[in-house]
Amino acid sequence: MADAVGGWIPTSNSQFSFSDIRKQWGYSNNDGSISMNSYYRNGGLVPNTTLPGSSGQYSNIPTSGSIGMNQFVNHKIARIIRKNHQSPTNDNNRETYNVQFQALYLDLSGWSTSQTVNVRFEQQCNSSGHFISMSLFGPVNNSGTSRPYTTGYAIRGESNTGSRDFGGYELAHHHENQSSLNVDLKGGYYYMWRSADYSTNTSGIYCGGEDQGGGAGVATGQRFWLTVHDNGTCCGDNNQGGNADFAARFYITGSS
């Protein structure tokens, strides 16, 4: 487990330790001291089950009362991570050393490459006067051949698909005129989040809680809420909540 970001919690609680749980879900204080009850489901570190029919993800982890290692067995992990994150506390001290290039990523390394993971986008806001989209780029295409990432982007950096080629294949594309989108992705990989402003070919993408710079403010929502900043990578006017240029929530809805 020490060399992985995300991944399986094993099938036996004798196969992992409390430090492995901290690597999966992070910890909220810098010195690393934390109790087991900090990992209640929907308590700030461990998400709630996301959607009905989501393969019971996290369903055995209690929201209160008695909690133990055995309740963390057999859980698939999906995370949105940033390299380099703004500070350890903003990233809940999650480790991102398996990711080579700076960017915002979807981590599906918790599934095997023989599995298919269904992901869902749900639009939350569209207030831009430009045509805006967000995409997931993967290091593999549907046939399994590779086009690896060659570079990436910093936070508040240029993530626009029209002006930069960072490698990878576009495997999911959600645009502002879609209320929702379901896509199947191959497990076992990290997928890079990208954005597009088709009017200006310059934009940035953020997950909830990230500082977009200047008057744009802190991106709304939890980590699985994605916000695109149009007409530039950062700063500018308010890009929060209902004022966001384009925002969508993202879910893991099942796997096979």
Domain limits for position 60: 1-76
Q: Is residue 90 part of a domain?
A: no
Two tokens at 34? Answer: 């934390």
CA–CA separation, 151 and 196 (whole Å): 17
Upstream peptide bond of 29 is cis (omega within 30 degrees of 0):
no
CA–CA separation, 177 and 152 (whole Å): 27
CA–CA separation, 230 and 189 (whole Å): 28
Two tokens at 154? Answer: 């910093």
- The pLDDT of residue 7: 39
Residue 66's contacts (CB-CB under 8 Å, 6 or more residues apart) are: none
Q: Does residue 70 share a domain with residue 164?
A: no
Q: Does residue 111 share a domain with residue 69?
A: no
Q: Based on the structure, what is the number of domains in the chain?
A: 2
- The pLDDT of residue 193: 97
Cα angle, residue 152 at apex, residues 149 and 153 outer, rounded to 5° = 165
**Tens of pLDDT along 200-209?**
999 999 999 8
R_g of the chain, CA atoms, integer Å:
18
Q: Does residue 108 share a domain with residue 34?
A: no
**Tens of pLDDT along 166-186?**
999 999 999 999 999 999 998
Q: Does residue 121 share a domain with residue 22?
A: no
Q: Does residue 37 share a domain with residue 140?
A: no
Torsion region of 199: left, alpha or beta (phi above 0 gives left; psi -120 to 50 gives alpha): alpha
Q: Is residue 246 part of a domain?
A: yes
Two tokens at 74? Answer: 């057999």
CA–CA separation, 246 and 256 (whole Å): 30
Q: Does residue 114 share a domain with residue 43?
A: no
Q: Is residue 118 part of a domain?
A: yes
Low-confidence ranges of the chain (pLDDT < 50): 1-8, 51-56
